[in-house]
C-alpha cells in the first residue's frame, strides 16, 4: 500500500508523464467546442446528471479538468471513491444540505462548530429544521424525517473531540457529515470510521498558504453524483486557479501538519503554565472533551488550540493588538501562525447563549500554530501576554 506522504505528492498527477508535463496544467477555458452535437448532448446530460466526467466538458460550470485533478487527489488522501470541490467550505456544506432535503426535513447537529456553519443551519435558509443536540443524544433525537447528522471534530474553536464511530452507530441509516478541517487526512480519516461525508474548508490546511478559498466533500460516488448536480445548478464550482493552488499545497501537507503540531504541543505546555492563562483547550493536554480519542481516532492532537485569559475580553483584545510575529486574523491552517477572538469574529453570528454554553467566552483566543521556529512564536506570545497583564494592572 502506498503511504500517505507519497500519495500526497503524487495523487492527481498520474498522467503527467504521459502528457510530457511535470507540473499539473491549469485549464482556464470557460467553454469547450462542440463539433459533434450528438456527443455534446450526451456529455451535457451526463454532467448535469452528476457524472464525474464526460467526453466534452461543455462549460466550466459543469466540469473543469484542473478541478477534477485535485478532486482525485483528495479522494485518494481521504480513502473515498470521490471528492466534489466547491468555491468555499460554506458552498460545500450548502450543497450537502440542499441534497439532504430529498431525504427529509430534519437535521441533527452537535455544537460547537464553525460559526458560519452554525449560523447557516440555525437560520433555516436551506429549508431544513435544525436541532442542536449533544452527541450522546443523537439516537434518542433521531426521527423518521432526519436527513443528516453533522459533527465537527476537532470542534471549532474549543477543540472538543467527537467519537465518530459512536455517532455513526447512533445515526443508524442516517448519513453523517464530519467536518474534519482541523484534523486533515494526515491525522484523521472519517470515512474509514463510517462517515458518509467528509468535509474540509480546503482554504485551511489543505491549501496551507492563505491564498485560496475552497471547500470539498469526500464521499462514495453514489453520494457525489447528486452533489455535482447541485454544484452545476448553483454555479458553485471551484475556480481552476484555486484548484491549482490547492493541488500545489498537497505535497507538503503532511510535513506542514507534523511541524505545526510539534510546535503546538510545545506552546500548549508553556501556555498552561502562564499566570495570565486560565485554561488551555488542547487535545494533547487532555483538557478537551474526549481527549482519549487522540491515538485512536486521531493520530495526533493537531495544530489548533484555544486559551482563556483571566482578564476576559480586555485581555484578549490586548494580546491581539500586541503580537508582532503572529498574525491577528481569522482563518487557520496556514504556514504562519494566526490568532483570533472567536466570540468577536468567527462565532459572532452564533446565538450568544449557545456561544457561551459551548465554552466560547469573551476571554477566549484561538491559536492556529504555524511552522515557524517555536521559540520565536513563544517569545512573541509571551511578550503579548505580559504586555496585556501590565496594561491591566496600570
Q: Which three cell numbers stand for residue 4?
A: 500517505
Let me know if residue 134 belongs to a domain. no
Q: Residue 1: its pLDDT value, please?
A: 81
- Is 333 a domain residue? yes
Q: Which residue has the cell 503580537?
A: 323
Q: Is residue 296 part of a domain?
A: yes
Note whether residue 4 is domain-resident: no
The tally of domains found in the chain comes to 1
On whether residue 295 sits in a domain, the answer given is yes
- What are the backbone angles phi and psi of residue 31, rounded to the nearest 5°? -145, 160
Among residues 313, 378, 282, the alpha carbon closest in space to that of 321 is found at 313
> Would strands 106-110 and 338-340 be described as parallel, antiparallel, or unpaired?
unpaired
Among 69, 142, 204, 366, the one annotated catalytic: 204
Instruction: Choose, from 179, 231, 355, 366, the residue flagged as catalytic.
Output: 179
pLDDT along the chain (394 residues), means of 10: 94 95 96 98 98 98 98 98 98 98 98 97 97 98 98 98 98 98 98 98 98 98 98 97 98 98 98 97 98 98 98 96 98 98 97 94 98 98 88 63
Tell me, yes or no, whether 93 lies in a domain: no
Q: Given this model, what pLDDT does residue 244 score?
A: 98
Measured CA to CA, the distance from residue 260 to residue 182 in angstroms comes to 12
109: which strand partners?
132, 150
Using CA atoms, how far apart are residues 154 and 381, in angstroms rounded to an integer?
23
Distance CA 125, CA 110 (A): 18
Instruction: Please tell me the predicted confidence (pLDDT) of residue 278.
Output: 96
238 is a domain residue: no
- Residue 235 backbone dihedrals phi, psi, to 5 degrees: 70, 35
- What are the distances in angstroms from CA 153 to CA 90, 176, 299? 17, 12, 13
Q: Could you tell me the residue range of the domain that residue 292 belongs to?
A: 253-393
322 catalytic? Reply is no
Burial of 35 (0-12, 13-18, 19+ CB in 10 A): exposed
Catalytic, 114? Answer yes
pLDDT at res. 389 = 75
Instruction: Confirm whether 111 is a catalytic residue.
Output: no
Smallest CA-to-CA distance from 387 within 308, 316, 312, 336 is with 316
- In a domain, residue 384? The reply is yes
Block residue for cell numbers 458518509? 196
CATH number at residue 264: 3.90.1150.10
First to last CA, the chain: 61
| Residue of 13, 69, 114, 259 with catalytic role | 114
Query: Catalytic site residue 179?
Result: yes
Amino acid at each position: 500500500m502506498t503511504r500517505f506522504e507519497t500519495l500526497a505528492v503524487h495523487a492527481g498527477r498520474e498522467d503527467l508523464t504521459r502528457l510530457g508535463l511535470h507540473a499539473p496544467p491549469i485549464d482556464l477555458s470557460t467553454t469547450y467546442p462542440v463539433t459533434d452535437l450528438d456527443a455534446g448532448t450526451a456529455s451535457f446530460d451526463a454532467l448535469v446528471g452528476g457524472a464525474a466526467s464526460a467526453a466534452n466538458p461543455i462549460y466550466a460550470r459543469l466540469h473543469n479538468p484542473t478541478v477534477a485533478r485535485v478532486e482525485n487527489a483528495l479522494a485518494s488522501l481521504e480513502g473515498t471513491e470521490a471528492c466534489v470541490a466547491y468555491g468555499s467550505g460554506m458552498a460545500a456544506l450548502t450543497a450537502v444540505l440542499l441534497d439532504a432535503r430529498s431525504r427529509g426535513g430534519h437535521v441533527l447537529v452537535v455544537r460547537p462548530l464553525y460559526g458560519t456553519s452554525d449560523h447557516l443551519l440555525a437560520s433555516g435558509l436551506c429549508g431544513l429544521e435544525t436541532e442542536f443536540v449533544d452527541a450522546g443524544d443523537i439516537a434518542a433525537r433521531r426521527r423518521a424525517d432526519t436527513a443528516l447528522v453533522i459533527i465537527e471534530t476537532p470542534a471549532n474553536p474549543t477543540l472538543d473531540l467527537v467519537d465518530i464511530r459512536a455517532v455513526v452507530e447512533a445515526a443508524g441509516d442516517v448519513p453523517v457529515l464530519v467536518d474534519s478541517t482541523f484534523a486533515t487526512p494526515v491525522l484523521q480519516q472519517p470515512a474509514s470510521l463510517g462517515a458518509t461525508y467528509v468535509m474540509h474548508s480546503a482554504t485551511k490546511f489543505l491549501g496551507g498558504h492563505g491564498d485560496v478559498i475552497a471547500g470539498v466533500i469526500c464521499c462514495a460516488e453514489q453520494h457525489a453524483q447528486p452533489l455535482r448536480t447541485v454544484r452545476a445548478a448553483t454555479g458553485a464550482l471551484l475556480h481552476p486557479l484555486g484548484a491549482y493552488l490547492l493541488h500545489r499545497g498537497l505535497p507538503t501537507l503532511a510535513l506542514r501538519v507534523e511541524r505545526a503540531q510539534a510546535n503546538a504541543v510545545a506552546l500548549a505546555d508553556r501556555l498552561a503554565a502562564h499566570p495570565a492563562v486560565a485554561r488551555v483547550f488542547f487535545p494533547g493536554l487532555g483538557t478537551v472533551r474526549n481527549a482519549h480519542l487522540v491515538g485512536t481516532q486521531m493520530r495526533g492532537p493537531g495544530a489548533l488550540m484555544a486559551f482563556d485569559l483571566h482578564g476576559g475580553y480586555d485581555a484578549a483584545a490586548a494580546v491581539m493588538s500586541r503580537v508582532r510575529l503572529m498574525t491577528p486574523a481569522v482563518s487557520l491552517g496556514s504556514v504562519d501562525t494566526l490568532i483570533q477572538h472567536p466570540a468577536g469574529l468567527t462565532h459572532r453570528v452564533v446565538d450568544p447563549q449557545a456561544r457561551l454554553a459551548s465554552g466560547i467566552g469573551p476571554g477566549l483566543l484561538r491559536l492556529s500554530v504555524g511552522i515557524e521556529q517555536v521559540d520565536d512564536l513563544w517569545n512573541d506570545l509571551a511578550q503579548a501576554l505580559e504586555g496585556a497583564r501590565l496594561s491591566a494592572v496600570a
